[in-house]
Amino acid sequence: MKTPWFLVLTLVVTSSLSQEKSVIGDFTKSPTEHIIQQIEKPFEVKSIFGTIVESGGFHERMAAVLFEIQGPGSDRKIRRTHTDKNGRFKIGRAPEGVYRFKATRNGFQSVLGTIHVSKNADQRQEIKIEMPIGV
What is the full DSSP assignment across 78-102? EEEEE--TTSEEEE--PPSEEEEEE
Return the closest-CA partner of residue 65 out of 77, 54, 79: 54
**CATH code for the structural domain at 27-131:** 2.60.40.10
- Cα distances from 40 to residues 81, 106, 114, in angstroms, run 22, 23, 8
pLDDT at residue 135, rounded to an integer: 67
Q: Rounded distance, CA 54 to CA 3, Å?
A: 49
- Domain range summary for the chain, segments of one domain joined by +: 27-131
Q: Rounded distance, CA 47 to CA 34, Å?
A: 30
Strand partners, 44: 116
Main-chain phi, psi angles of 11, to 5 degrees: -65, -40
pLDDT at residue 24, rounded to an integer: 55
Block means of pLDDT (10 residues each) for the chain, 135 residues, are 44 34 68 90 98 93 98 94 98 97 95 97 96 87
pLDDT at residue 14, rounded to an integer: 32
pLDDT at residue 25, rounded to an integer: 65
- The whole-model pTM stands at 0.81
Looking only at the bridges linking them, the beta strands covering 110-117 and 97-104 are antiparallel
Q: Rounded distance, CA 63 to CA 75, Å?
A: 28
pLDDT at residue 100, rounded to an integer: 97
Opening angle at CA 53, ends 67 and 47, nearest 5: 50
Main-chain phi, psi angles of 114, to 5 degrees: -130, 145
